[in-house]
Chain A
Amino acid sequence: ILNVEQSPQSLHVQEGDSTNFTCSFPSSNFYALHWYRWETAKSPEALFVMTLNGDEKKKGRISATLNTKEGYSYLYIKGSQPEDSATYLCAFRALTSRDDKIIFGKGTRLHILP
Chain B
Amino acid sequence: GAGVSQSPRYKVAKRGQDVALRCDPISGHVSLFWYQQALGQGPEFLTYFQNEAQLDKSGLPSDRFFAERPEGSVSTLKIQRTQQEDSAVYLCASSPPRRASGAVLRTDTQYFGPGTRLTVL
Residues of A in contact with B (beta carbons under 8 Å apart): 4, 6, 31-32, 34, 36, 41-46, 49, 51, 89, 93, 97-107
Pick the contact of A31: B31, B106, B113 (CB < 8 A): B106
Complex-state Cα separation, A100 to B56, whole angstroms: 10
Complex-state Cα separation, A41 to B10, whole angstroms: 11
* B42 and A99 form a contact (CB under 8 A): no
Residues of B in contact with A (beta carbons under 8 Å apart): 3-4, 31, 33, 35, 40-45, 48, 50, 55-56, 91, 95, 104, 106-115
Known contacts A100-B104, A101-B56; 19 additional CB pairs below 8 A are: A4-B42, A31-B106, A41-B114, A42-B114, A43-B115, A45-B112, A46-B109, A46-B110, A89-B43, A99-B31, A100-B31, A100-B95, A100-B106, A100-B110, A102-B45, A102-B110, A104-B35, A106-B41, A107-B42
Kindly list chain A residues whose C-beta atoms are within 8 Å of the C-beta of B109.
34, 46, 49
Complex-state Cα separation, A106 to B44, whole angstroms: 10
Kindly list chain B residues whose C-beta atoms are within 8 Å of the C-beta of A106.
40-42
Residue among B44, B45, B112, B115 with the most chain A CB within 10 A? Answer: B112
